[in-house]
């Protein structure tokens, strides 16, 4: 897909797919990293991968390519990388939702900030939609993800409606339907966090679906907040 098409799809639909963004040799090297290769399939994921040198280098590569394609500002940073995996021993579903929480260094006293929480020692908060609209999620598929592997399902255009309650989310899905984002190994799925998305359990039990999910955003996020990690 041409860079202009990627930008247009991201603006209109809230997501874009970049086929073959990472080649087989680099994928093999990523999958050989201990944090990926030694990860137990009984565990659904790991949210702390940016602490790994190889992951920081991959984040920098993706950031540069996305910036060159006009999808990220030149001063954008990677704030989080999560490894998600589905397998025969760990098969799960995710209900329809938006990604509303971000990892920050410390709490801030601002009434516009909601739903403070702590996960694995990190602070998370739900900022205003204005900030969420400036963020970009990038999912790198380490394995093929077909219709039977529990791919992400998205409601195209739903990112344009701001924060949605459960009733509004269901109404949008009923009105516009869903798109299953199947992918080949090495493909990127680029999406706005406010895009409604869900996934089903895999129906192909012998399959495996591993995804590196990056969150990118502006270096300065405002609201007296700072990222807990910024690469």
**Distance (Å, rounded) from C-alpha 153 to C-alpha 94?**
10
Q: Is residue 172 part of a domain?
A: yes
What are residue 55's phi and psi, to 5 degrees?
-70, -40
Q: Is residue 95 part of a domain?
A: yes
Residue 161: domain span:
3-217
**pLDDT of residue 202 exceeding 90:** no
| Domains identified in the chain, total number | 1
pLDDT of residue 127: 98
Q: Which of 55-69, 90-104, 210-224 has the lowest average pLDDT? A: 90-104
Residue 203 pLDDT level (bands cut at 50, 70, 90): confident
**pLDDT of residue 2 exceeding 70:** no
Per DSSP (E only), the strands in 65-113 are 77-86, 94-97, 102-104
Longest distance between any two alpha carbons in the chain, whole Å: 48
Give the tens place of pLDDT for each residue, 6-34: 999 999 999 999 999 999 999 999 999 98
Q: Is residue 208 part of a domain?
A: yes
**Distance (Å, rounded) from C-alpha 23 to C-alpha 160?**
33
**Distance (Å, rounded) from C-alpha 194 to C-alpha 200?**
19
Q: Is residue 204 part of a domain?
A: yes
Q: How many Cβ atoms are within 10 Å of 154's Cβ, its own excluded?
A: 25
**pLDDT of residue 41 exceeding 70:** no
What CATH number is associated with residue 73?
2.60.120.620
Q: Is residue 223 part of a domain?
A: no
DSSP 48-113: BGGGSHHHHHHHHHHHHHHHHTTSS-TT-EEEEEEEEEE-SSS---EEEE----EEESS----TT-
Give the tens place of pLDDT for each residue, 65-87: 999 999 999 889 999 999 988 76
pLDDT of residue 205: 63
Residue 38 pLDDT level (bands cut at 50, 70, 90): low
Q: Is residue 47 part of a domain?
A: yes
Q: How many Cβ atoms are within 10 Å of 37's Cβ, its own excluded?
A: 9
Give the tens place of pLDDT for each residue, 122-154: 999 999 999 999 999 999 999 999 998 889 999
Residues 6+ apart with CB under 8 A from 120: 47, 48
Give the tens place of pLDDT for each residue, 186-200: 999 999 999 999 998
pLDDT of residue 45: 56
How high is the mean pLDDT of the chain? 92
Q: Is residue 227 part of a domain?
A: no
The pair of three-digit structure tokens given for residue 226, joined into one six-digit string? 């700072």
Q: Is residue 80 part of a domain?
A: yes
Residue 90 pLDDT level (bands cut at 50, 70, 90): confident
């Amino acid at each position: 897909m041409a860079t202009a098409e990627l930008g247009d799809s991201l603006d209109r639909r809230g997501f874009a797919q970049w086929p073959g963004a990472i080649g087989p040799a680099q994928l093999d090297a990523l999958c050989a990293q201990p944090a990926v290769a030694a990860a137990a399939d009984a565990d659904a994921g790991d949210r702390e991968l940016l602490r790994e040198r190889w992951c920081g280098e991959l984040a920098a590569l993706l950031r540069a390519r996305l910036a060159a394609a006009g999808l990220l500002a030149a001063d954008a940073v990677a704030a989080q990388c999560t490894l998600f995996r589905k397998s025969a021993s760990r098969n799960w579903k995710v209900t329809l939702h938006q990604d509303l929480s971000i990892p920050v260094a410390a709490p801030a006293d601002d009434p516009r900030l909601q739903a403070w929480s702590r996960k694995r020692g990190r602070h998370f908060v739900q900022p205003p939609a204005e900030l969420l609209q400036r963020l970009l999620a990038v999912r790198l598929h380490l394995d093929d993800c077909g219709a039977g592997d529990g791919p992400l399902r998205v409601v195209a255009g739903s990112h344009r409606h701001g924060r949605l309650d459960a009733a509004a989310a269901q109404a949008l899905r009923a009105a516009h339907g869903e798109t299953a984002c199947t992918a080949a190994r090495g493909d990127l799925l680029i999406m706005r966090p406010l895009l409604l998305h869900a996934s089903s359990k895999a129906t192909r039990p012998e399959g495996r679906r591993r995804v590196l999910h990056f969150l990118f955003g502006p270096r300065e996020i405002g609201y007296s907040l700072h990222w807990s990690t910024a690469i």
